Amino acid sequence: MNKKRRLKKPFRMLLLIILVFNVAFVIKAFYKEFTINSKTDDEQSALEIKKQKDALYLTCMEAGFKEEELTDLIKESILEVNDYIKSNNYDISFNYQDITTQFTFGHNINKTYYGASLIKALESLYLYEKASLGEVDLDEKIKYTSSDQRAYSTDMEKMSYGSMHKIRNLISYSLLHSDNSAHFMLVDYIGKTNLKNFGLSLGAKKTLLGTDTYGYTDAFDSTVYMLKINDFITNNEMLGQEFKKNMVDSKENVLKIDEYEVAHKYGLHNGNYHNMGIIYTNKPYTLVVLSYGITNKNKVFNDIASLIRETHNSFYEQRKSNCLKVYDN
């Protein structure tokens, strides 16, 4: 009996050691799992906080303009543009508008000028919109007749009377080379009254003011057109890109000052020289510059475009600084 008890004692010890080892292993595994889960939870929490801050920052950067953002720095920058015009005694009006925030400023934006070929951008918008709704077939052909012939028609002057031309091609001629015969054919197709009513429906006040198919305009109306064109380009993938390319490749792109694309249309007639465009920086904006009697137009329009770009950049640098404060809180 004594011998039997002595044999059981080591066995019990072995069992105890095994039990202790298993408990230790379980505790170690639990601790490891707990540590991993805790670390994962912390990382997940940090990621969620970052996402929330990123969303707040983006909301802040894209929020509508507030009057308190018109700081002394921004006012001085705007004043530089106006001083440039006044000091040189230029007959110029302009209007700038940031597309994201609607921050806007200008000079004599309601002054009326003969619009000349600026109307070609509006007629193109009309046709592209109708095409997007299935109401116009851009591949429909229009006959070119002698009554359509107009001076300054780079493309159509090569065509014979009686020839047929797709609406889409006439739009390109009108935008790319400001072809006046193509313009006349398009307005005749649309109907002058329809085009006038279309412009007014967008919020313009002076669409086709006058007796001809070009009309008078101001910087306010031209801004309305460019904002609507931007909306169309943004919201219509295929036709929008076609429209944009025609305007980016259009001649007389005096608002382009660097590598950023500018979708634009110019107008020129009897001393009137204008340009209106969408400038595709990282934060796109519209710019309209109307003038009369400017001789060195390329330099003047480039100078104004550069000064306005400085104001645009200053506005966003200021906003970024303010939004980072929201991010860091």
Predicted confidence (pLDDT) per residue in 288-316, tens digit: 999 999 999 999 999 999 999 999 999 99
pTM of the model: 0.85
CA distance 113 to 97: 20
Here the CATH number for the domain that contains residue 82 is 3.40.710.10
**Position 50 in a domain:** no
Q: What is the pLDDT of residue 183?
A: 98
Q: What DSSP designation does 64 have?
A: P
pLDDT score at 56: 87
Digit-coded pLDDT (tens) for 110-119: 999 999 999 9
Token pair 């009377």 is found at 161
3-state SS assignment for residue 293: coil
For position 4, what pLDDT does the model report? 46
- What's the structural domain count of the chain? 1
Per the domain annotation, does 42 fall within a domain? no
Residue 33 lies in a domain: no
> DSSP labels for 39-59?
HHHHHHHHHHHHHHHHHHHHH
Show the low-confidence residues of the chain (pLDDT under 70): 1-39, 41, 326-329
- pLDDT at site 194: 98
Report if residue 108 sits inside a domain.
yes
DSSP per-residue string spanning 259-285: SS-EEEEEEEETTEEEEEEEE-SSS-E
Cβ–Cβ < 8 Å for 230, 286: yes
Q: Give the pairing type, strands 113-114 and 141-143.
A: unpaired
276 is in which domain, residue-wise?
63-328
Instruction: Tell me what pLDDT residue 7 has.
Output: 45
Average pLDDT over the chain reads 91
- Residue labelled with tokens 């508008």: 97
Question: Which residues sit opposite 4 in a β-bridge?
Answer: none
